[in-house]
């Protein structure tokens, strides 16, 4: 009897301790989560304000009109010119090539995995796509420079060593997992009853994939494409290694170019002293890049809401 009473007392003590620990945890965990959220928000605000303040310092020295409409970017010249259009043109050229490569392949992979592949094939293919996403971009850059460019030069003899085509193709391969994986998730979320109904009416699997599943998953597919484009616009190392450093305002993909990110890398490596106009120019270019990526992310959010299908 005494042993039973002792055990009951120990259990009561343990229960009280557990209740106290639970109450303590319930009070502390929300505070920790709040601190984490506040730190992330303050970090974002700090980054944005840093870009804005330093960009204003740049525009005190360079006309905004010259920056926005100028077609020559020559910051290191004796008579410097700060027209950002060549950097924007280089960025958009590489991004366009990447999208042309990634979107058809990504959608093809997504349709195959969601509509035709068996579970075993899907379990093998998805990790392979994830491996592509995990490869460091500097490795992609060296691969573009030392392997892809020489192969392309055999097909296009006029292709220069540094060009837009090679890094564009490799960036397309880099963003391929993003488009394929997110599109496949969107297509897989379409209810099977819709597929079965279309098949019951005599449609083939291919017709179901293109005419039923793809339109039903359009919001997720378009959002994945926009997010892939956003990552392509912000890519740095691939274009720095394989694209060159010649800002030109043209549509030629066979010649050297310079993107916004590549210019930031060039100046950040020590080519300009602190407090100079060239130094502040990287903040102006960075703010321009920030606006591009912000617009792309807002577009992805808008597209996702606009074309979302609820079942």
Domain encompassing residue 196 = 73-306
Is 89 domain-assigned? yes
**Averaged confidence pLDDT in the chain:** 82
Handedness of CA 44, 47, 173, 299 (dihedral sign): positive
**Per-residue model confidence as pLDDT tens digits over 232-283:** 888 888 888 888 888 888 888 888 888 888 888 888 776 667 778 888 888 8
Is 78 domain-assigned? yes
Question: What pLDDT, on a 0 to 100 scale, did the predictor assign at position 10?
Answer: 58
Number of residues that this document lists for the chain: 311
Is 20 domain-assigned? no
**Confidence check: pLDDT of 118 > 60:** yes
Question: What pLDDT, on a 0 to 100 scale, did the predictor assign at position 104?
Answer: 92
**Confidence check: pLDDT of 98 > 90:** yes
CATH label of the domain that carries residue 296: 1.10.3720.10
Q: What share of the chain is helix, strand, coil (3-state, %, to 5)?
A: 75, 0, 20
> Whole-angstrom Cα distance, residue 180 to residue 192?
20
> Whole-angstrom Cα distance, residue 138 to residue 127?
21
- The mean pLDDT of 129-157, rounded to a whole number, is 87
> Whole-angstrom Cα distance, residue 9 to residue 307?
62
CB 103 within 8 A of CB 180: no
At 195, the pLDDT band (50, 70, 90 cuts) reads confident
* Residue 268, CA distances (Å) to 89, 114, 258, 261 in order: 21, 44, 15, 10
- The mean pLDDT of 180-191, rounded to a whole number, is 83
**Confidence check: pLDDT of 206 > 70:** yes
SS3 state of residue 134 = helix
Structural domain count, the chain = 1
Question: What pLDDT, on a 0 to 100 scale, did the predictor assign at position 241?
Answer: 87
CB 189 within 8 A of CB 222: no
DSSP secondary structure letters along 21-89: HHHHHHHHHHHHHHHHHHHHHHHHHHHHHHHHHHHHHHHTTS-HHHHHH---EETTSSS-EE--HHHHH
Percent of the chain with pLDDT over 90: 8
SS3 state of residue 210 = helix
Torsion angle in degrees (nearest 10) through CA of 83, 85, 87, 89:
-160
Is 3 domain-assigned? no
Question: What pLDDT, on a 0 to 100 scale, did the predictor assign at position 308?
Answer: 64
Window from 22-26, 134-138, 181-185, 305-309 with minimum mean pLDDT? 305-309
> Whole-angstrom Cα distance, residue 224 to residue 93?
20
Q: Of the segments 58-62, 140-144, 203-207, 240-244, which one has the largest average pLDDT value?
A: 140-144
Question: What pLDDT, on a 0 to 100 scale, did the predictor assign at position 97?
Answer: 93
Is 26 domain-assigned? no
Q: What residues are paired with 81 via a beta bridge?
A: 74
Is 57 domain-assigned? no
Closest among 232, 237, 291, 233 to 268, alpha carbons compared: 237
Q: What does pTM read for this prediction? A: 0.82
Instruction: For residue 189, give the DSSP letter.
Output: T
**Per-residue model confidence as pLDDT tens digits over 27-86:** 777 888 888 888 888 888 888 888 888 888 888 888 888 888 888 888 887 788 888 889
At 4, the pLDDT band (50, 70, 90 cuts) reads low
Is 67 domain-assigned? no
Is 311 domain-assigned? no
Structure tokens at 115: 């509509």
**Per-residue model confidence as pLDDT tens digits over 166-184:** 999 999 999 988 888 888 8
Question: What pLDDT, on a 0 to 100 scale, did the predictor assign at position 25?
Answer: 72
Structure tokens at 7: 């055990």
């Amino acid at each position: 009897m005494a042993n039973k009473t002792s055990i009951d007392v120990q259990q009561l003590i343990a229960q009280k301790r557990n209740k106290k620990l639970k109450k303590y945890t319930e009070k502390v965990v929300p505070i920790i989560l709040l601190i984490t959220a506040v730190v992330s928000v303050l970090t974002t605000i700090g980054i944005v304000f840093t870009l804005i303040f330093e960009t204003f310092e740049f525009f005190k020295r360079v006309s905004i009109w010259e920056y926005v409409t100028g077609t020559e970017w020559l910051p290191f010249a004796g008579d410097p010119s700060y027209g950002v259009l060549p950097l924007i043109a280089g960025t958009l050229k590489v991004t366009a090539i990447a999208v042309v490569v990634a979107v058809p392949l990504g959608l093809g992979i997504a349709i195959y995995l969601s509509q035709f592949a068996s579970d075993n094939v899907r379990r093998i293919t998805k990790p392979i796509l994830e491996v592509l996403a995990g490869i460091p971009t500097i490795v992609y850059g060296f691969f573009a420079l030392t392997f892809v460019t020489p192969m392309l030069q055999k097909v296009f003899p006029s292709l220069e060593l540094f060009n837009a085509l090679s890094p564009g193709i490799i960036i397309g391969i880099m963003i391929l997992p993003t488009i394929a994986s997110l599109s496949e998730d969107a297509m897989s979320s379409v209810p099977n009853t819709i597929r079965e109904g279309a098949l019951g009416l005599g449609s083939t699997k291919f017709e179901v994939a293109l005419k039923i599943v793809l339109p039903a998953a359009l919001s997720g597919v378009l959002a994945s494409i926009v997010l892939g484009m956003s990552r392509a616009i912000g890519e740095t190392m691939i274009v720095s290694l394989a694209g060159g450093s010649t800002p030109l305002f043209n549509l030629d993909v066979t010649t050297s170019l310079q993107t916004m990110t590549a210019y930031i890398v060039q100046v950040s490596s020590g080519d300009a002293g602190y407090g100079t106009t060239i130094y502040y120019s990287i903040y102006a270019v960075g703010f321009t890049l920030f606006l591009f990526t912000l617009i792309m992310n807002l577009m992805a959010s808008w597209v996702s809401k606009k074309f979302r299908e609820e079942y």
